[in-house]
Amino acid sequence: MARPTIAIVGRPNVGKSTIFNRMVGDRQAIVEDKPGITRDRLYGTGEWFGKAFNVIDTGGIEIDGEDEILRAVKVQAELAIEEADVIVFMVDGKAGITPADEEIGQLLFRSGKPVVLGVNKIDNIKMQEEIYEFYSLGFGDPIPISGAHGIGMGDLLDAAMVHFPELEDEEYGEDFIKIAVIGRPNVGKSSLVNAILGEERVIVSNIAGTTRDAIDTPFEREGQKFVLIDTAGMRKRGKVYEATEKYSVMRAMKAIERADVALVLINGEEGIIEQDKHIAGYAHEAGKAAIFVVNKWDVVEKDDKTLHQFTQTIRDHFLFMSYAPVIFVSAKTKQRLHKLLPMVVEAADHHSMRVQTHLLNEVISDAVAITPPPTDKGRRMRLNYVTQVSVKPPTFVFFVNDPSLMHFSYERYLENKLRAAFDFTGTPMRLFTRKKSSGDE
């Protein structure tokens, strides 16, 4: 189920990044008192009264700017507007309405999206009357806020939530395995979807970014039901669009939220770039099962060591996803493609696997006996009990005498022991440590 999306839009230097940081509760955006410092859209997730949402922080729109960066951030903002369910239009209460604000207002009117008007830099109650001139922009009641002090954020989020779409129940039942095909533009996502389906369902072109929208395709293979979610990648030619690849990340995030298994596509010809890590990282953080699919392997010059070397390169770059298997395919020639769906089924099974409590505790007891927890200032952690609390991904809680004594390296050791005893290939795991109380067992 995809979360609603808020895009924060406005001219440069009105405080968009500060508001973004307030919404996501993290200093993800660069904040500097200089117009145009936020050049790329940034993405985050926030929560308000139990409702989660995505947030896009856009570069400031500079309507008449001839500078290429300013034109690029205008494109970035337009793409964000297209992706958003509701737009927070930020203006500067100290500066008043500027011609750029009026132009942006026209752009937002044309988008047809719901708009909430936030007047930033209203730092105290004496400045409240500064907001009245902003009624003339035509977006209803302006909401006075101070990003610097956190004033008015609740009112802003309340107003935005009114426009959140009703989340529809997932139309596919538990008997479907939902597969998100994710990757940067032009790694062959659409070609892979067509090859799996055996028909030309999706437009395929060598020009990066020809798939405009995410496309769901349900199908059945050997009695198992699947849904393929093909994510769009948007990138146009020319420096004006330099950074618009980040648009594909937002699409990937939305697809990942709905998926059971993420196929992380890597271009075998080009190798691994930083964008691959960003996109794979979203799947990992979302707790989804994952498989690395190296496409275009048919055109790679290789010897008997190439496959092993490329696999090792993936392991080196994606240390945080050592659980994800790797397969080398060609969507064009169908090389090894018959092995992909069985791997997907296996990863999905492991992602939803539940282990009996007594078996878990036997494995962990043996692990502790072989390698006891290290001491910390003369104190040693005592591990009393472990239980699995959920699946998708498998999540385990360790009850101990003092959670602060659980060292990261020992937690990794316990995870490795669980993976060795029970096959969790293809899925991340979540491990939590809690203090044992008398009622836990």
CATH code at 138? 3.40.50.300
The pLDDT assigned to 119 comes to 94
Q: Are residues 403 and 430 in the same domain?
A: yes
Q: Are residues 311 and 388 in the same domain?
A: no
168 found inside a domain: no
Cα(432)–Cα(399) distance, integer angstroms: 9
Q: Are residues 27 and 102 in the same domain?
A: yes
170 found inside a domain: no
Cα(350)–Cα(365) distance, integer angstroms: 23
The pLDDT assigned to 193 comes to 85
Q: Are residues 136 and 226 in the same domain?
A: no
Q: Are residues 193 and 130 in the same domain?
A: no
User: Angle formed by the axes of helices 68-83 and 99-111, to 10°?
Assistant: 40
167 found inside a domain: no
CA 123 vs CA 93, 137, 423: distances in Å: 9, 21, 56
Q: Are residues 343 and 202 in the same domain?
A: yes
Q: Are residues 339 and 216 in the same domain?
A: yes
CA nearest neighbour of 321 among 345, 285, 348: 285
pLDDT, tens digit only, all 441 positions of the chain: 567 889 898 888 888 888 888 888 754 444 444 444 334 446 777 888 888 888 888 765 555 555 665 665 567 667 778 778 999 999 999 899 998 889 888 888 888 899 999 999 988 777 777 788 999 999 999 999 988 888 899 999 999 999 998 766 556 788 899 999 988 777 788 888 888 888 645 444 443 433 334 567 888 888 999 988 866 543 333 333 334 444 556 667 778 888 999 999 999 888 888 878 878 888 898 899 999 999 989 888 888 889 999 999 999 999 999 999 999 999 889 999 999 999 999 999 999 999 999 999 999 999 999 999 988 888 999 999 999 999 999 999 999 999 999 999 999 999 999 999 999 999 999 999 999 775 544
Q: Are residues 99 and 42 in the same domain?
A: yes
Q: Are residues 346 and 374 in the same domain?
A: no
440 found inside a domain: no
CATH number of domain containing 392: 3.30.300.20
Which residue numbers belong to the known binding site?
10-17, 57-61, 120-123, 183-190, 230-234, 295-298
The pLDDT assigned to 41 comes to 45
Burial 16-54 (b: 16+ CB within 10 A, else e): bbbbbbbbbeeeebebeeeebebebbbbbbbebeeeebb
Q: Are residues 330 and 427 in the same domain?
A: no
166 found inside a domain: no
Q: Are residues 69 and 156 in the same domain?
A: yes
221 found inside a domain: yes
CA 51 vs CA 45, 54, 275, 295, 390: distances in Å: 10, 10, 29, 38, 21
The answer to whether the CB of 214 falls within 8 A of the CB of 178 is no
Q: Are residues 306 and 402 in the same domain?
A: no
Q: What is the pTM of this model?
A: 0.69
Number of domains in the chain: 3
The pLDDT assigned to 412 comes to 93
Mapped onto helix, strand or coil, the DSSP state of residue 433 is strand
Range of the domain at 267: 176-351
368 found inside a domain: yes
The pLDDT assigned to 346 comes to 97
Last residue of a domain, one of 294, 318, 351: 351
Which residue numbers belong to the known binding site for GTP?
10-17, 57-61, 120-123, 183-190, 230-234, 295-298
Edge-to-edge order in the sheet of strand 5-9: 42-48, 51-57, 5-9, 86-92, 115-120, 143-144
